[in-house]
Amino acid sequence: MSSQFNLPDVGEGLTEAEIVSWKVAPGDTVTVNQVIVEIETAKSLVELPSPFAGTVESVLVEEGTTVEVGTPIITVSSGAAAPAGSAAPVQDAPPAPIRVVPSADLTETESMVATAERTATAERPGAEEKPGAVLVGYGIKGHVASRRSSRRSTSAIPAIGETPEGARPAERVARVQQPIPGLPVIAKPPIRKLAKDLGVDLNEVTPTGLIGDVTRDDVIRHAEQAKVFHNIETPQWAPEREERIPVKGMRKQIAKAMVASAFTAPHVSLFVDVDATRTMDYVKRLKASADFTGVKISPLLIMAKAIIWAVQRNPMVNSAFTEKEIIVRNYVNLGIAAATPRGLIVPNIKDAQDMSMRTLAESLEQLTLTAREGRTSPADMADGTITITNIGVFGMDTGTPILNPGEVGIVALGTIKQRPWVVDGEVRPRFVTTVGASFDHRVVDGDVASRFVADVASILEEPALLLD
């Protein structure tokens, strides 16, 4: 019996996708939920799991081909589809002991660790446990035969849900352990891909995961995150005189969005130089604070807080324009323009106005790392209200940003560097940056735009205003 798998709609009403790479070939045996193909939509890179168990009979679409949703892409023989939300029965397998931890008692970090622990066990060569296949999102819990003991001492690690006496919740993390030569590295596939892209040898990375696994933060730290986008060497000229790149997938979507924005919304741009010395001092104090241990702190965090504060004072910059009405959003889904190997994307942090400084810092870090791995979901890029583009990381002083479609405001943060600045009648070296912003002039008048930019600048000049 053969079962045919059609390209599904992965969300956001997308109608087509490109087959990037097949993870299986004809003759391979597949299980339910095994990743069989990687596809690229107009918004993200997605791995598709198999809904069938059996043997791959034929691959119907070649890599690099763009097909519409509903198109047959693979056939699997001697398999049956698993109903959503159910698990295939386990044959001749005794019930596995389960360590039950109420989800309400777990922090976000602990929940991620628990998932990673189960993943590492499932991928362990020669593992005795063989739980039944389940659909993605409906995992089952079984005995976790982790490899903790082979990587580190278990006495240094509190059980999930337990807190060492006197420790804060933020300290419920494994202690950093040096890798042991000769033992395999524990790292999930996305982490291995990130390490490969950044040229990082995982054997040289110090793991900090709770089960001795290498995390994204470990890889980024090892690669010196500030240098990720810097060109390390100049390549040789390509032998071909010309190269033709098909306009499809994300690049096609970017082109459509930029043209629609530039020629639909009348842009007006403003710029102001800012003495950000106190911001740099504030960032330094946050980095040294025990309350921010393990969190990446940068001037972008202060800029994000400044924009949220300025939006509250000037809500029209957080609107949406339609032909019939202007929709003023009394919440902030803060978009962060991210340059990735696949192109420019703008994921956003939902309800950023309700976040503490630490939570916002964690969200910024998570958003950036996920974007660089190419794992940003369509939902993460939907419903943004205002955007930051941090061109300072590329050494640029300023620019004229184009609005993200559906928004009426975007702010550009330039590089922060020491320049001569007049203070109390004397020229002194100060950390100076340029804040630029573009607005949809159909909604945002010049006085509103000016007040908003001035408010952002005032926070960068004196972050203590955030405490008011």
Residues forming beta bridges with residue 270, ordered by sequence position: 437
Q: Is residue 121 a contact partner of residue 145, using CB atoms and an 8 Å limit? A: yes
Q: Is residue 283 a contact partner of residue 298, using CB atoms and an 8 Å limit? A: yes
Sort strands 409-413 and 386-389 into parallel, antiparallel or unpaired: parallel
Q: Per the structure block, which two tokens stand in for 311?
A: 């939006």
Q: In angstroms, rounded to a whole number, what is the distance separating the alpha carbons of residues 432 and 419?
A: 6
409 three-class SS: strand
Rounded to a whole number of angstroms, the distance between the first and last alpha carbons of the chain is: 69
Is 441 tagged catalytic?
yes
Q: In angstroms, rounded to a whole number, what is the distance separating the alpha carbons of residues 9 and 454?
A: 44
Residues near 43 by Cβ (< 8 Å), separated by ≥ 6? 12, 14, 250, 253, 345, 376, 378, 381
Q: 332, 333, 337: which is closest to 315 by C-alpha?
A: 332
- From the list 143, 222, 267, 441, the catalytic residue is 441
Q: 424, 271, 293, 299: which is closest to 358 by C-alpha?
A: 293
Q: In angstroms, rounded to a whole number, what is the distance separating the alpha carbons of residues 296 and 112?
A: 18
Tell me the HSE value of 329 on the side-chain side, using a 13 A CA sphere.
23
Helices (H), 265-346: 277-288, 299-313
Which residues are catalytically annotated?
441
